[in-house]
Structure 1
Amino acid sequence: MGETTAETRTRMTYAERHTQLLEVARELIRQKGSDALTLARLAEHAGVTKPLVYQHFGTRPAVLAELYGEFKARTHVALDRTLSTAEADRATVARIISDAYIDCIDAESTELPGIAGALSGSAELEDLREEADAAFSARCCRALEPFTDSGHLPEGSMQAILGAADGIARAIVLGRITSSEGRTALAKVVAAVV
């Protein structure tokens, strides 16, 4: 028997395949928008069967929710990394928080609005937002509390920071302001709130 010209397929672990499918989904959204993402298209673009995609995600919102969760997780990692080496002054910490948030917006500006839009009104997105906001708030509070008079950052203050971050991110994505303007504005808000 002679060799065939067909490529030999390599088997991936479940985790490797899951990562690959998320990367393909991200690329599909980047190229064609979130409306183009269906589980069937994801399977086609990944070169796998539809049942395999359903096994990994089950629903389209589940794919979108994972992509949104990954974005928020990257924001937290960036924030943790830079805060661990930060100088101990309010302006520097405020700038680090601003930069970490805006860096992730810049990196995800093509996909994130479509993902959030596709999930809008869903319970999944609300749960993800609450979890992500709580995690981001906890990190910010730990970093900012040493600069408060009471040693505590009130919940209302943290909500002001989150609101400003979301509003500035939306303005950047829509092209109303530049990333640089957004960084400066958010850093000023964070420092002022503290």
Structure 2
Amino acid sequence: MADPISSDVKARRRLSRQDRREQLVRVAWQLVREEGTEALSLGRLAEKADVAKPVVYDHFGTRAGLLAVLYQDFDARQTTLMDTALRDSAPTLTSKAAVIASSYVDCVLLQGREIPGVIAALAGSPELERIKRDYRTGFIEKCRRVLVPFAGDGEIATASLWAMLGAADAVSEAAATGDISAGQARDELYETIMALVARSLHTRASPGIPER
């Protein structure tokens, strides 16, 4: 008599906890891509992934927990892409600036239109907003460490780094929605980074206006 349980169901049941989590994350991204962030719920994810609801709740707990995991997944890939490219790049400002620009834009484009919706959803919860801010602060500090050797004896202003991040978000999202090309996004962000360092050098060289 044939086994009534199909081989693919058996395979799903054999997944380790980590493999199951990775599968659910992949399906969640697919769901966001196909139906939008608004459609993302634990119940809908369970249906899409063809698993029982308790399995999804066991991994993420709440919708907010799922959104946090998706953002962390995106950030981890962005970090890996950038760290690898920085390690392999030449020790020059032009090379480092190009790596930062291309890594940021390319990671958003690899994720497609899903990530802007997830980032927007994070703003609906103070806890999720804190998670997003922590990761973004980490990115800014990494950029500071990479760029400050090219600022002479000066510092890279924190406000300038936040402005750079705002520009990175804007041009990456515009490229993801097709309003500009990927090349335009990379070039604009590259020029923003170069200007940031040049401004730091200028500020160091200029005594500024004395206080009265």
In 1, the alpha carbon distance for the partners of 2:179 and 2:93 equals: 28
Q: Cα deviation per residue 1:59-112 (whole Å; 9 max; x = unaligned)?
A: 112111211121122111111101111112111111110000001111112211
Q: Cα deviation per residue 1:43-73 (whole Å; 9 max; x = unaligned)?
A: 1121211111111111112111211121122
TM alignment of 1:89-104, pairs within 5 A: 89-104=92-107
Task: Indicate the larger mover: 148-157 or 178-187.
Answer: 148-157
Task: Indicate the larger mover: 60-69 or 170-179.
Answer: 170-179
Instruction: Tell me the CA shift for residue 170 of structure 1.
Output: 2.8
For residue 88 of structure 2, give the secondary structure of its aligned residue in structure 1: coil
Are 1:6 and 2:12 counterparts? no
Task: Indicate the larger mover: 57-66 or 125-134.
Answer: 125-134
AA aligned opposite 1:55: D
1:81 alignment counterpart: 84
1:163 alignment counterpart: 166
1:184 alignment counterpart: 187
**Matching residue within 117, 125, 138 for 2:128:** 125
1:51 alignment counterpart: 54
In 2, the alpha carbon distance for the partners of 1:146 and 1:162 equals: 19
For residue 116 of structure 1, give the secondary structure of its aligned residue in structure 2: helix
AA aligned opposite 1:93: K
TM-score between the two structures when normalised by the length of structure 2: 0.84
Higher relative contact order (CA 8 A, sep 6+): 1
In 2, the alpha carbon distance for the partners of 1:5 and 1:60 equals: 34
Task: Indicate the larger mover: 182-191 or 124-133.
Answer: 124-133
CA RMSD of aligned residues (A): 1.6
8 A Cα contact 1:33 1:111, kept in partner: yes
Are 1:69 and 2:72 counterparts? yes
Moved over 3 A (4+): none
Identity fraction in percent: 37
8 A Cα contact 2:122 2:132, kept in partner: no
In 1, the alpha carbon distance for the partners of 2:125 and 2:68 equals: 10
1:172 alignment counterpart: 175
The gaps in structure 1 that reach 5 residues or longer are none
1:41 alignment counterpart: 44
Instruction: Tell me the CA shift for residue 175 of structure 1.
Output: 2.8
